[in-house]
């Protein structure tokens, strides 16, 4: 998967730019607050329709302008597509090959970027919603049905909560309880299958690239692989919480409340792990996600690294660069310091200087 051309218009501090990225490394360098992360965010938005910064629409539009536009030409398995995203204050609209999309699957198939952002380490200590988002976004990337199930679950949940709030009788609630258990079971099933698939790679990367000794583990709520048992478990949970649900007027258990356990030698990473171990775990998760995508689609996904050199010490950085070089993915990196990348053997690509939202492309010899 490759981004061959990128056009930005009024995106954050970038007024207008056209880039023709290198098929391997694209290193955006420059001082603080110049627009490096903004550029990375634009690619993540274009490719996944979501920002890793959880920004509001108006923040994405250049100050005092009414809309912004991100356009890209992509290539996957020899097939090219044009994708476009237009953001105005109220909504985002997307086009694939000149046509407005109504279902996102084919559009999302073009780039499937995996983002590595330093603030993601906060997910480990933060509320469960952040960890669910991390996992859900990874599952979306390889399972189109999962996106549909999550959307369906949200609709059913809203409806059930409304009935609970209005204190409607049991016979009105029951069909929604059954439907929610069915969709909820599919979500728990998909989450746990995904973890099962990537866990060996997460462990391997944590040991070999991050150079850490501990055994890592990941769990999400799913006591069985049998989907009808999962459904029954959810019905039992609803039954146990019945009185409390009536009192509070909300659905108190289900995949929207589940946590994802990150474990280090069987202890919780959030209370037991150091900052470096937490960072390594997230990195290992993302590397495993990228390798899994490569396995599924036959091509590596786009990799986007925000502030890479701030993430790892020199030794681990070099191990990580070796991994990146071997993956042959298209990589976008932002950094304030290019020297560690050059020292780590990353030369085959473009080095793009960023100054106040303006981009100047050079090669490694000219940096």
Task: By CB under 6 A, tell whether 63 contacts ligand ATP.
Answer: yes
Minimum distance between the CB of residue 349 and ligand ATP, rounded to whole angstroms? 19
Task: By CB under 6 A, tell whether 141 contacts ligand ATP.
Answer: no
SS3 147: helix
Cα within 13 Å of Cα(237), Cβ side: 22
Minimum distance between the CB of residue 20 and Mg ion, rounded to whole angstroms? 22
Task: By CB under 6 A, tell whether 353 contacts ligand ATP.
Answer: no
Residues 351 and 323 sit within 8 Å (Cβ to Cβ): no
Rounded to 5°, angle at Cα 145 from 120 and 176: 95
Minimum distance between the CB of residue 16 and Mg ion, rounded to whole angstroms? 20
Site residues for ligand ATP, 259-318, by CB under 6 A, read 307
Partner that binds at residue 254, options Mg ion, ligand ATP, none, CB closer than 5 to 8 Å by kind: none
Residues 164 and 250 sit within 8 Å (Cβ to Cβ): yes
Minimum distance between the CB of residue 107 and Mg ion, rounded to whole angstroms? 27
SS3 148: helix
Partner that binds at residue 38, options ligand ATP, Mg ion, none, CB closer than 5 to 8 Å by kind: ligand ATP
Partner that binds at residue 35, options ligand ATP, Mg ion, none, CB closer than 5 to 8 Å by kind: ligand ATP
Task: By CB under 6 A, tell whether 62 contacts ligand ATP.
Answer: yes
Which of 20, 54, 56, 59: binder of ligand ATP (CB under 6 A)?
Answer: 59
Minimum distance between the CB of residue 137 and Mg ion, rounded to whole angstroms? 20
Partner that binds at residue 32, options Mg ion, ligand ATP, none, CB closer than 5 to 8 Å by kind: ligand ATP
SS3 247: helix
Bridge partners (DSSP) of residue 350 are 26
Task: By CB under 5 A, tell whether 51 contacts Mg ion.
Answer: no
SS3 73: strand
Minimum distance between the CB of residue 181 and Mg ion, rounded to whole angstroms? 43
DSSP string, 178-228: HHHHHHHHHHHHHHHHHHHHHHHHHHHHHHHTS---SPEEEEES-S-S-HH
Nearer to ligand ATP (CB atom), residue 117 or residue 288 = 117
Choose among 249, 78, 275, 288: nearest CA to 161.
249
Nearer to ligand ATP (CB atom), residue 17 or residue 212 = 17
Site residues for Mg ion, 1-40, by CB under 5 A, read 36-37
Binding residue count for Mg ion, defined by CB under 5 A: 2
SS3 4: strand
Site residues for ligand ATP, 28-57, by CB under 6 A, read 32-38
Residue 157 Cα distances to 150, 171, 199, 261, angstroms: 10, 17, 30, 24
Choose among 337, 340, 341: nearest CA to 353.
337
Strands (E), 237-338: 260-264, 267-268, 303-305, 331-335
Burial of 202 (0-12, 13-18, 19+ CB in 10 A): buried
Minimum distance between the CB of residue 86 and ligand ATP, rounded to whole angstroms? 15
Site residues for ligand ATP, 319-338, by CB under 6 A, read 334, 336
Binding residue count for ligand ATP, defined by CB under 6 A: 17
Which of 3, 6, 12, 110: binder of ligand ATP (CB under 6 A)?
Answer: 12
The residue ranges that bind Mg ion (CB under 5 A) are 36-37
The residue ranges that bind ligand ATP (CB under 6 A) are 12-13, 32-38, 59, 61-63, 307, 334, 336, 354
């Amino acid at each position: 998967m490759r981004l061959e051309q990128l056009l930005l218009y009024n995106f954050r501090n970038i007024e207008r730019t056209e880039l023709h990225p290198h098929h391997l490394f694209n290193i955006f360098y420059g001082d603080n607050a110049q627009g490096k992360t903004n550029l990375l965010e634009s690619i993540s938005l274009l490719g996944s329709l979501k920002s890793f910064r959880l920004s509001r629409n108006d923040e994405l539009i250049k100050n005092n302008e009414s809309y912004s536009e991100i356009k890209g030409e992509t290539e996957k398995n020899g097939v090219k597509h044009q994708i476009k995203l237009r953001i105005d204050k109220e909504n985002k609209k997307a086009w694939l090959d000149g046509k407005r999309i109504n279902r996102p699957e084919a559009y999302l198939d073009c780039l499937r970027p995996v983002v590595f952002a330093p603030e993601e380490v906060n997910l480990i200590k933060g509320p469960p919603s952040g960890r669910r988002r991390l996992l859900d976004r990874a599952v979306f990337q390889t399972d189109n049905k999962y996106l549909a199930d999550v959307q369906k679950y949200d609709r059913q949940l809203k409806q059930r909560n409304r009935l609970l709030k209005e204190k409607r009788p049991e016979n009105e609630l029951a069909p929604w309880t059954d439907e929610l258990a069915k969709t909820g079971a599919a979500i728990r099933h998909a989450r746990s299958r995904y973890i099962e698939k990537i866990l060996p790679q997460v462990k391997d990367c944590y040991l070999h690239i991050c150079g850490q000794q501990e055994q890592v583990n990941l769990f999400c709520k799913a006591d069985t692989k049998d989907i009808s048992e999962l459904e029954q478990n959810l019905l039992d949970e609803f039954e146990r919480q019945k009185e409390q649900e009536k009192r509070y007027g909300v659905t108190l258990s289900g995949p929207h409340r589940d946590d994802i356990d990150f474990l280090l030698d069987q202890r919780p990473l959030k209370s037991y792990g150091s900052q470096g171990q937490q960072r390594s775990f997230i990195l290992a998760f993302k590397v495993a996600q990228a390798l899994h995508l490569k396995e599924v689609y036959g091509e590596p996904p786009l990799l986007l690294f925000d502030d890479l050199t701030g993430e790892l010490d020199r030794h681990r950085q070099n191990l990580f660069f070796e991994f990146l070089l071997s993956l042959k993915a298209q990589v976008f990196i932002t950094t304030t310091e290019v020297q560690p990348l050059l020292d780590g053997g990353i030369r085959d690509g473009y080095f793009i200087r960023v100054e106040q939202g303006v981009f100047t492309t050079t090669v490694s010899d000219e940096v």
